[in-house]
Amino acid sequence: MRSLVLAVFSFLLLACAMGPDYSRPDIPTSGSFRMAEDSKDLPSLANMPWWELYRDEELQRLIRIALEENKDLKRAVASIDEFQARLFTARMDFAPQFSATGNVPAARLGGVRFPGFASPFNYYGQGSLSWELDIWGRIRRANEAGLADLLAQEENRRAVTLQIVGGVAQAYFDLRQFDMQLEIATRTLSAWEESVRIGHARLRQGMINKLDVDQFEAERENAAARIAELKRHMIQKENELSVLLGRNPSQIARGRSLTEQMMPPVVPAGLPSELLQRRPDVVQAEQQLVASTARIGVAKAERFPKLSLTGFLGVASPTLTDFVSPATNFGVLAPVLTGPLLNAQTLGFQQQAVEAQAKQAVAQYEQTILVAFREVEDALVGVSTAREQAAAQERQVNALRSALHLASLRYKGGLANYLDVLIAQRSLFEAELALAATHRLHLVSVVQLYKALGGGWSPEMDGPKRNSKGS
């Protein structure tokens, strides 16, 4: 028996797992991003923790609440627990499987024959042992797939975390945009109400006609309608943000205004090659590819015979007094070989299906990388152009304010008609609203770049945790 066990272990050590070993697909990457700023000496924006990127204390508080209470994140964490339990279940396939049965009669109406024995036995106990020898690496490949599935869920949790941080920040900046635009619309409404008051006074004096007053009143109502629209958007955005916080819709506290937000003057993107190790969705897609590759080995191994050590050991006796006697012991241990016969073709088709799934995983991994590169480039151009756009619009607003001031003075002095003031006021109103939207666009572009780069964590920070999962 000892020699048999040693021979089995020696064979298992020499045996190789079937199926291909995983190797990362060759993904061509450039040396730098197309729209990256010339800041190679600076660390990537993605290396900044979110609390260093978003300096608004109220925004930081909202993000912390979301990371504690968001329901999608809780679901992602629970999913990790599920796949960890599945991995532990798969690892138990390496160990022998043991079961036990027994019988103690409560009443005796006659002799009961134990299966396989010629004499009646009313008292017996039996333990069964089954241990599959992983000759072809089926169990090893299954465990590789289980570990990759677990790591994929961990990356999904990181992706959800990053999505929540970015989502809260973006919704908060949207809300502050509506606040800023509401303030502009309210101020503009007051200006138009003053224009209407002056217009009515001049109408009574016969200095202007009714058409001029109607135009002023129309612009006033336009501002009032815009205020109602902004209030609707504001409440809807508060509701959206409340859901991210894991709460019922409620009012959201504010911190710094759009123009008071502190963002880094330079937003270095880092190297494209870092994206493959940093972005959670890219790493998740790779782990799914690892799992699909390992399952090819499982499918191949299923087509070959399985070798198991099977046995049982027990005692049986017609009386309880003789139950512990050596003469009542019985047992057997023998290798069992089972193999596919009639279902060999079915297993072949199953292998083809698994191989096709692996090809799908490769395409999905490559597509995820392409989308990641595109999102980074889009965010980079968004940051640079938003900054330029905001600067131009600020100059436009300053010029229009000056024009409105001069038009108002000329109108009150009787040197200009209503049309000059109307045009100047209307143009300033729209330009100020656009500038507020551009301030928000610049901040949101930085948020999108942070998300696209997979910001907030690094593989080195999670190394010990990942190793512990794989041990």
The per-residue pLDDT for range 69-111, each reduced to its tens digit, is 999 999 999 988 888 888 888 877 777 777 777 666 654 445 5
pLDDT for 447 equals: 92
Q: For 2-35, write each residue's pLDDT tens digit.
A: 554 445 444 444 456 777 888 888 887 776 777 6
- Nearest Cα neighbor of 314 from 324, 305, 304, 306 is 324
Task: Please name the residues in contact with 98: beta carbons below 8 A apart, sequence gap of 6 or more.
Answer: 127, 128, 129, 130
Amino acid at 227: I
Q: Where are the alpha helices (DSSP H) in 279-340?
A: 280-301
* CA atoms of 60 and 53, how far apart (whole Å): 10
Extents of the domains making up the chain = 30-99+119-470
- pTM for the model stands at 0.80
Phi, psi of 13 (to 5 degrees): -65, -35
Residues near 25 by beta carbon (within 8 Å), at least 6 away in sequence: 289, 362, 365, 366
335-369 in b/e form (b: 16+ CB < 10 A) is eeeeeeeeeeeebeeebeebbebbeebeeebeebb
CB 237 within 8 A of CB 203: no
What DSSP assignment string belongs to 397-422? HHHHHHHHHHHHHHHHTTSS-HHHHH
Q: Sorting pLDDT into bands at 50, 70 and 90, what band is 321? A: low
Q: Following DSSP, what letter does each residue of 38-75 receive, concatenated? A: S-TTSPPGGGS-HHHH---HHHHHHHHHHHHH-HHHHH
The domain over range 30-99+119-470 is classified in CATH as 2.102.10.10 = no
Of 84, 76, 82, give the one whose Cα is nearest residue 469: 84
pLDDT at residue 66 in the model: 94
pLDDT above 50 (res 463)? no
Mean pLDDT of 283-304: 89
Task: List helix spans (H) across 99-209.
Answer: 138-204
Report which secondary-structure segment, H or E, holds 77. Answer: helix 71-91
- Give residue-wise pLDDT tens across range 328-385: 565 666 676 676 766 777 888 888 898 899 999 999 999 999 999 999 999 989 988 9
Least confident of 27-31, 56-60, 191-195: 27-31
18 three-state secondary structure: coil
